[in-house]
A and B are shown apart, each in its own frame.
Chain A
Amino acid sequence: MTHGMQGPKRSLGGRILRSTAAGALGLLLLFLVLPLVSLLVRVPPRVLIARLKDPAVIDALRLSLVTSGCSTAVVVVLGLPLAYLLATREFRGKRLLEALVDLPMVLPPTVAGVGLLMAFGRTGLLGGVLAALGLSIPFTTLAVVLAQVFVSAPFFVATMTAGLIEIEPRYLDAAATLRASPTAVFLRVMLPLGLPSLVAGTATCWARALGEFGATITFAGNLPGVTQTMPLAVYLALQTDLEASIALSVLLLAVSFLLLLAFRALPLRSVAGRRRAARGRG
């Protein structure tokens, strides 16, 4: 074979690859956008707006925003120390802990709901203790938050841990030689350098909490105004009133999209840099 033949042949291969990739991209985009467009075109805007004034819709929206906000806050506050631990320390059982943290990501949410029920329910492991304290968690707004925390925490912890690991150790060393205590190093170096991950992790965690359905309906039930979040309301409305279901879906879509856009718009630039594989010993 001559060199003259290799050139065109390679570029033909390249062309095939490029057109395949373009086709795949188009197909995927179409698949992702089609349901969204279908939602929007199904009901006339006037009807949509009228539906949104329904107190039941407003209740569901408020409940969704409040619970997902609360659960995200809880995850961030509890998840940061865990991410710090996973990113900076080596200890026995670390692999096991990492697997445990990731588990809710792959678990069907209904299983998570049953698990929560078995832990906090009246007949659950902690049920007796909670009953003695006069507390009953299932089928309350608190249960909604717990369900959301359970399923969304791994998304935050995974993103945050990866972000903290990315921070080059030389910055942490430099801070330590400048009299910064481990707490100060975390607050003044790791957090600012890990800020893009903090934001990305918070956004995914929040999005996951907002869309939570399976664990919520299993563990918290479907009480309007108390545990009926937007996804539950959508599903319930689907049984009786398709138009209402679509209106709720569009609303949820709009809110999610706006919040994700807002996160993207934050003026963040990754400054952590790449971690270097090896450090010279000189």
Chain B
Amino acid sequence: MLHAVAVRRLAEFRLEAEIEVDRGSTLVLVGESGAGKTLLLRMLAGLEHPDAGRIELGDQVYFDGRAGEMVPAWRRSIGYVGQDYALFPHLSAFENVAFGLRAQGLRGRRVRLRVGEMLERFGIGDLARRRPRELSGGQQQRVAVARALVIEPALLLLDEPLSALDLQTRRTLQSELRRMLAERAGASVYVTHSPVEAALFGDRIAVLEGGLITQKGSRDELLRYPKSPYVAEFLGVNLYRGTLGYRDFAGLVEVQTPDITLSVVDPGGEDETFVLVNPREVTLFLERPEGSAQNTFYGPIGDLVPEPPFGDRVRVVVESKPPIVAEVTKHAIEALGLKPGVPVYASFKASGVSTYR
């Protein structure tokens, strides 16, 4: 339904992204700050002018770089929720939501009905007369989403809509937003840098790095086959890339990475391969472990992070070359006396990995 190719030259890098979103589905756009997510979203909205490319929504052409055509934001069938909501400070919650309907010339009963219905749907019917400054962050967020949805946009654009909220409110709103997005008939694009939100909201996920889409696919594809260090870090897994080398007779193959040679179950084929190591498959030792078919890293412990927060497992970052993350129990941490700076061996089995190209 949405098909967009947008190019924009910037001082630091060049943004060039192609995305597609089907009717009734949500694309999550993830990437670090400064990767160009917001800029891409603003180009879809018509708030920024691409240098080149083409943006189509259904049978409407919103931007055509070759023909030099650009439909301004206010003539596009979009809804936009920015990071800071930008509720009009001089209007009540009701009038904020009514703004888009009034801008289209609707008046009176029809406006009252549709706005009232939308406010009820977000559970803020009793706040209709309040000004934005009299609303909490979560309430403002609901008004902003209601305001964007009441005009029934074909394309809904959400730019980190939950990032300004405290944890408690975020959790509540996550499930509300999820339900809302699932019910939508139109297409949605959701920008976030939170892995949790990416997994919650995305039918499909696209990864933006340095202005380029480095990977896109379904949530499962990304979880199973991450293809860039950023995605791996985003998902909290270890990812290495190297050249396939010597094959032994036990079905193992050597993978030559820039810093280390790994021994993994032979995926077949030639050339390069990704090696994905789940942190749970990584074991930590104070002495060099014995045994064949083991891949061993050595280095001091950098950081210890409980997983989940306040959970009973701990993610241990080992600053070997290359670094590796292990996820072990709290019990193991205490038994081995692990703390930052302690040198450890991190090891995983040749069979404890997945390889893919």
Contacts and interface: CB of A to CB of B under 8 A. Distances in A.
Interface of A: 168, 170-171, 173-182, 184-185, 188-189, 192-193, 271-273, 280-282
Contacts, number: 91
Interface string B39-78: 1011001110000000000000000000000001111101
Given A173-B86, A176-B74, A178-B100, A281 B151 contact: no
**Which 4 pairs between the two chains have the least Cβ-Cβ distance?**
A282-B38, A178-B100, A177-B80, A170-B86
A58 B84 CA distance: 56
Contact of B147 (A173, A178, A182, A282): A178
B142 to A, nearest CB: 15
B151 A178 contact: yes
B275 interface: no
Interface stretch (B29-37, B234-242, B277-285): B29-37
Interface of B: 33-39, 41-42, 45-47, 72-76, 78-80, 82-84, 86-90, 99-100, 102-104, 147-148, 151, 159-160, 191
B110 to A, nearest CB: 15
A176 B89 contact: no
Contact of A193 (B35, B89, B104): B89
B89 A174 contact: no
B336 to A, nearest CB: 41
B74 A179 contact: yes
A79 to B, nearest CB: 22
B198 to A, nearest CB: 14
Contacts of A168: 86
A281 B74 contact: no
Nearest to B95: A188
Contact of A189 (B76, B82, B88): B88
A269 to B, nearest CB: 9
Contacts of A271: 89-90
A177 B34 contact: no
Contact of B34 (A175, A189, A281): A281
A188 B73 contact: no
A189 B89 CA distance: 10
A130 to B, nearest CB: 43
Nearest to B82: A170
A272 B78 CA distance: 25
B78 A177 contact: yes
Given A281-B38, A282-B33, A282-B39, A176 B86 contact: no
Contact of B80 (A174, A192, A280): A174
A177 B90 contact: no
Nearest to A279: B38
A188 B45 contact: no
Nearest to B102: A188
Contacts of B33: 280, 282
Given A189-B88, A282-B160, A282-B191, A179 B82 contact: no
Nearest to B150: A178
A184 B101 CA distance: 12
A175 B99 contact: yes
Contacts of B147: 178
Nearest to A180: B103
A168 B99 CA distance: 18
